[in-house]
Structure 1
Amino acid sequence: MFALYLTVTLIAAFLCGWAGVLGLIGHDIPKSQAEKLGVPVSWTPVMGTLLAAGTLGLLAGIAVPLLGTLAAAGLVLYFIGAFYVHVRVRDYDFTFWSVFFAAVVAALAVALAHYGPDGAWQL
Protein backbone atom coordinates (compact mmCIF):
# COMPACT_ATOMS: atom_id res chain seq x y z
CA MET A 1 0.00 0.00 0.00
CA PHE A 2 2.88 2.36 0.71
CA ALA A 3 4.14 2.01 -2.88
CA LEU A 4 0.76 3.10 -4.22
CA TYR A 5 0.60 5.99 -1.75
CA LEU A 6 4.10 7.10 -2.70
CA THR A 7 3.47 6.85 -6.46
CA VAL A 8 0.19 8.75 -6.42
CA THR A 9 1.56 11.40 -4.07
CA LEU A 10 4.65 11.96 -6.21
CA ILE A 11 2.54 12.26 -9.38
CA ALA A 12 0.23 14.81 -7.74
CA ALA A 13 3.23 16.68 -6.32
CA PHE A 14 4.90 16.79 -9.72
CA LEU A 15 1.79 18.15 -11.46
CA CYS A 16 1.03 20.76 -8.81
CA GLY A 17 4.69 21.69 -8.46
CA TRP A 18 5.00 22.20 -12.21
CA ALA A 19 1.90 24.42 -12.27
CA GLY A 20 3.10 26.29 -9.17
CA VAL A 21 6.50 27.05 -10.68
CA LEU A 22 4.88 28.29 -13.89
CA GLY A 23 2.77 30.67 -11.83
CA LEU A 24 5.68 31.85 -9.74
CA ILE A 25 8.01 32.57 -12.65
CA GLY A 26 5.35 34.47 -14.57
CA HIS A 27 5.08 32.05 -17.49
CA ASP A 28 2.60 32.85 -20.26
CA ILE A 29 0.42 29.75 -19.64
CA PRO A 30 -1.03 30.83 -16.27
CA LYS A 31 -1.26 34.43 -17.44
CA SER A 32 -3.28 33.51 -20.52
CA GLN A 33 -5.51 31.24 -18.44
CA ALA A 34 -6.09 34.06 -15.95
CA GLU A 35 -7.06 36.46 -18.72
CA LYS A 36 -9.32 33.85 -20.32
CA LEU A 37 -11.08 33.19 -17.02
CA GLY A 38 -11.42 36.80 -15.92
CA VAL A 39 -8.98 36.47 -13.03
CA PRO A 40 -6.54 39.34 -12.48
CA VAL A 41 -3.12 38.43 -13.87
CA SER A 42 -1.60 39.80 -10.67
CA TRP A 43 -3.06 36.77 -8.87
CA THR A 44 -0.98 34.23 -10.78
CA PRO A 45 1.98 34.41 -8.35
CA VAL A 46 -0.44 33.94 -5.45
CA MET A 47 -2.01 30.91 -7.12
CA GLY A 48 1.48 29.62 -7.90
CA THR A 49 2.41 30.03 -4.25
CA LEU A 50 -0.67 28.07 -3.16
CA LEU A 51 0.17 25.26 -5.56
CA ALA A 52 3.82 25.25 -4.48
CA ALA A 53 2.81 25.14 -0.81
CA GLY A 54 0.46 22.26 -1.56
CA THR A 55 3.27 20.47 -3.34
CA LEU A 56 5.62 20.88 -0.39
CA GLY A 57 2.86 19.70 1.92
CA LEU A 58 2.30 16.57 -0.15
CA LEU A 59 6.01 15.80 -0.07
CA ALA A 60 6.29 16.53 3.65
CA GLY A 61 3.33 14.21 4.16
CA ILE A 62 5.53 11.27 3.30
CA ALA A 63 7.26 11.86 6.64
CA VAL A 64 4.41 13.58 8.53
CA PRO A 65 1.05 12.11 7.45
CA LEU A 66 -0.99 14.99 8.85
CA LEU A 67 0.71 17.51 6.56
CA GLY A 68 0.19 15.40 3.47
CA THR A 69 -3.48 14.81 4.23
CA LEU A 70 -4.13 18.49 4.89
CA ALA A 71 -2.17 19.53 1.79
CA ALA A 72 -4.13 17.11 -0.39
CA ALA A 73 -7.41 18.38 1.07
CA GLY A 74 -6.33 21.97 0.46
CA LEU A 75 -5.43 21.18 -3.14
CA VAL A 76 -8.81 19.51 -3.66
CA LEU A 77 -10.45 22.74 -2.44
CA TYR A 78 -8.17 24.79 -4.70
CA PHE A 79 -9.26 22.83 -7.77
CA ILE A 80 -12.93 22.97 -6.76
CA GLY A 81 -12.49 26.74 -6.78
CA ALA A 82 -10.83 26.52 -10.20
CA PHE A 83 -13.82 24.52 -11.45
CA TYR A 84 -16.15 27.27 -10.25
CA VAL A 85 -14.09 29.92 -12.04
CA HIS A 86 -14.26 27.95 -15.30
CA VAL A 87 -18.01 27.47 -15.05
CA ARG A 88 -18.54 31.10 -14.10
CA VAL A 89 -17.19 32.27 -17.46
CA ARG A 90 -18.78 29.36 -19.35
CA ASP A 91 -15.46 27.70 -20.18
CA TYR A 92 -16.26 24.02 -20.30
CA ASP A 93 -12.87 22.70 -21.38
CA PHE A 94 -11.95 20.71 -18.29
CA THR A 95 -9.20 18.60 -19.87
CA PHE A 96 -6.27 19.84 -17.81
CA TRP A 97 -8.41 20.59 -14.76
CA SER A 98 -9.65 17.00 -14.65
CA VAL A 99 -6.09 15.63 -14.69
CA PHE A 100 -5.01 17.87 -11.81
CA PHE A 101 -8.23 17.28 -9.86
CA ALA A 102 -8.04 13.50 -10.29
CA ALA A 103 -4.43 13.53 -9.11
CA VAL A 104 -5.10 15.48 -5.92
CA VAL A 105 -8.29 13.54 -5.12
CA ALA A 106 -6.32 10.32 -5.59
CA ALA A 107 -3.55 11.66 -3.34
CA LEU A 108 -6.09 12.44 -0.64
CA ALA A 109 -7.79 9.07 -1.04
CA VAL A 110 -4.60 7.02 -0.83
CA ALA A 111 -3.34 9.05 2.13
CA LEU A 112 -6.54 8.30 4.02
CA ALA A 113 -6.51 4.67 2.89
CA HIS A 114 -2.86 4.14 3.79
CA TYR A 115 -2.81 5.89 7.14
CA GLY A 116 -6.46 5.39 8.04
CA PRO A 117 -8.77 8.06 9.39
CA ASP A 118 -7.00 8.01 12.78
CA GLY A 119 -3.41 7.44 11.67
CA ALA A 120 -3.35 10.38 9.30
CA TRP A 121 -3.98 12.78 12.17
CA GLN A 122 -1.12 11.69 14.37
CA LEU A 123 2.00 13.80 14.42
Structure 2
Amino acid sequence: MEISMFIAYAVVGGLLALVLTASATLTLHRNDQIVASMRKVQVPDSWLPRLATLKAAGAIGLVAGLWITPLGIAAAIGVTLYFVGAVIAHLRAGDFELAPAAVLTAIAAAALALRVLS
Protein backbone atom coordinates (compact mmCIF):
# COMPACT_ATOMS: atom_id res chain seq x y z
CA MET A 1 0.00 0.00 0.00
CA GLU A 2 2.80 2.41 0.90
CA ILE A 3 4.47 2.03 -2.52
CA SER A 4 1.19 2.77 -4.29
CA MET A 5 0.80 5.96 -2.21
CA PHE A 6 4.33 6.95 -3.17
CA ILE A 7 3.58 6.37 -6.85
CA ALA A 8 0.38 8.38 -6.50
CA TYR A 9 2.36 11.20 -4.85
CA ALA A 10 4.95 11.05 -7.61
CA VAL A 11 2.23 11.47 -10.25
CA VAL A 12 0.18 14.14 -8.44
CA GLY A 13 3.21 16.01 -7.10
CA GLY A 14 5.00 15.84 -10.45
CA LEU A 15 2.01 17.15 -12.38
CA LEU A 16 1.44 19.89 -9.80
CA ALA A 17 5.12 20.83 -10.07
CA LEU A 18 4.72 21.17 -13.84
CA VAL A 19 1.68 23.44 -13.39
CA LEU A 20 3.54 25.52 -10.80
CA THR A 21 6.57 25.84 -13.08
CA ALA A 22 4.42 27.00 -15.98
CA SER A 23 2.54 29.43 -13.76
CA ALA A 24 5.77 30.81 -12.27
CA THR A 25 7.20 31.31 -15.76
CA LEU A 26 4.06 33.05 -17.01
CA THR A 27 3.98 35.22 -13.89
CA LEU A 28 7.63 36.25 -14.32
CA HIS A 29 7.00 37.09 -17.97
CA ARG A 30 3.94 39.08 -16.92
CA ASN A 31 1.53 37.13 -19.10
CA ASP A 32 -1.49 39.34 -19.84
CA GLN A 33 -4.00 36.81 -18.49
CA ILE A 34 -2.05 36.27 -15.27
CA VAL A 35 -1.56 40.00 -14.71
CA ALA A 36 -5.26 40.68 -15.35
CA SER A 37 -6.25 37.97 -12.87
CA MET A 38 -3.86 39.32 -10.24
CA ARG A 39 -5.13 42.88 -10.71
CA LYS A 40 -8.71 41.67 -10.42
CA VAL A 41 -7.95 40.46 -6.90
CA GLN A 42 -5.92 43.60 -6.12
CA VAL A 43 -2.47 42.02 -6.04
CA PRO A 44 0.15 44.76 -6.57
CA ASP A 45 2.39 44.29 -9.63
CA SER A 46 5.42 44.48 -7.33
CA TRP A 47 4.34 41.16 -5.77
CA LEU A 48 4.49 39.22 -9.04
CA PRO A 49 8.19 38.25 -8.84
CA ARG A 50 7.75 37.10 -5.23
CA LEU A 51 4.67 35.06 -6.05
CA ALA A 52 6.46 33.50 -9.03
CA THR A 53 9.38 32.62 -6.74
CA LEU A 54 7.02 30.95 -4.27
CA LYS A 55 5.47 28.87 -7.06
CA ALA A 56 8.90 27.86 -8.36
CA ALA A 57 10.07 26.96 -4.85
CA GLY A 58 6.95 24.86 -4.38
CA ALA A 59 7.63 23.02 -7.63
CA ILE A 60 11.23 22.32 -6.67
CA GLY A 61 10.19 21.17 -3.19
CA LEU A 62 7.53 18.82 -4.52
CA VAL A 63 10.03 17.16 -6.86
CA ALA A 64 12.81 17.04 -4.28
CA GLY A 65 10.23 15.59 -1.92
CA LEU A 66 10.38 12.38 -3.91
CA TRP A 67 13.72 11.75 -2.21
CA ILE A 68 13.46 13.88 0.94
CA THR A 69 10.11 13.19 2.58
CA PRO A 70 10.05 16.15 5.01
CA LEU A 71 10.82 18.54 2.15
CA GLY A 72 7.97 17.11 0.08
CA ILE A 73 5.60 17.50 3.01
CA ALA A 74 6.77 21.06 3.67
CA ALA A 75 6.43 21.98 -0.01
CA ALA A 76 2.94 20.49 -0.21
CA ILE A 77 1.92 22.44 2.90
CA GLY A 78 3.32 25.64 1.41
CA VAL A 79 1.62 25.13 -1.96
CA THR A 80 -1.68 24.30 -0.26
CA LEU A 81 -1.47 27.46 1.84
CA TYR A 82 -0.51 29.51 -1.24
CA PHE A 83 -3.66 28.43 -3.06
CA VAL A 84 -5.86 28.79 0.04
CA GLY A 85 -4.60 32.37 0.08
CA ALA A 86 -5.48 32.72 -3.61
CA VAL A 87 -9.03 31.49 -2.96
CA ILE A 88 -9.36 33.95 -0.06
CA ALA A 89 -8.03 36.79 -2.24
CA HIS A 90 -10.64 36.01 -4.91
CA LEU A 91 -13.44 35.90 -2.37
CA ARG A 92 -12.36 39.15 -0.68
CA ALA A 93 -12.30 40.91 -4.04
CA GLY A 94 -15.75 39.58 -4.89
CA ASP A 95 -14.31 37.61 -7.81
CA PHE A 96 -16.07 34.28 -7.94
CA GLU A 97 -14.02 32.96 -10.87
CA LEU A 98 -11.95 31.00 -8.43
CA ALA A 99 -12.23 27.49 -9.87
CA PRO A 100 -8.55 27.28 -10.91
CA ALA A 101 -7.35 28.33 -7.46
CA ALA A 102 -9.85 26.02 -5.73
CA VAL A 103 -8.88 23.04 -7.91
CA LEU A 104 -5.17 23.66 -7.32
CA THR A 105 -5.85 23.91 -3.57
CA ALA A 106 -7.49 20.48 -3.69
CA ILE A 107 -4.66 18.99 -5.76
CA ALA A 108 -2.04 20.43 -3.41
CA ALA A 109 -3.92 19.03 -0.41
CA ALA A 110 -4.06 15.65 -2.16
CA ALA A 111 -0.29 15.79 -2.76
CA LEU A 112 0.20 16.57 0.93
CA ALA A 113 -1.98 13.65 2.05
CA LEU A 114 -0.29 11.27 -0.36
CA ARG A 115 3.21 12.29 0.74
CA VAL A 116 2.32 11.95 4.42
CA LEU A 117 0.82 8.50 3.80
CA SER A 118 3.69 7.20 1.67
Query: Structure 2-normalised TM-score?
Result: 0.90
Q: Deviations over 1:72-100 (max 9, x none)?
A: 00111111111111111111122211221
Matched, 1:58 2:70: no
In the other structure, the counterpart of 1:15 is 19
Moved over 4 A (4+): none
Within the alignment, does 1:47 sit opposite 2:62 as a pair? no
Looking at structure 1, the residues matched to 28 and 71 of structure 2 have their Cα atoms a distance apart, in angstroms, of: 22
For the 8 Å contact 2:83–2:105, the answer to whether it is kept is yes
Q: Which runs of 5+ in 2 are unaligned?
A: none
Query: After superposition, where does 1:1-123 map in structure 2 within 5 Å?
Result: 1=4, 2-114=6-118
For 1:57 and 1:33, locate their aligned partners in 2 and report how far apart those are by CA, in whole Å. 25
- Cα distance in 2, alignment partners of residues 46 and 13 from structure 1: 17
Is the Cα–Cα contact under 8 Å of residues 54 and 74 in structure 1 kept in the other structure?
Answer: yes
Count, aligned residues: 114
Cα root mean square deviation, aligned: 1.1
Looking at both structures, which has the greater relative contact order when contacts are Cα pairs under 8 Å and sequence separation is at least 6?
2
Structure 1: where are the runs of 5+ without partners? 115-123
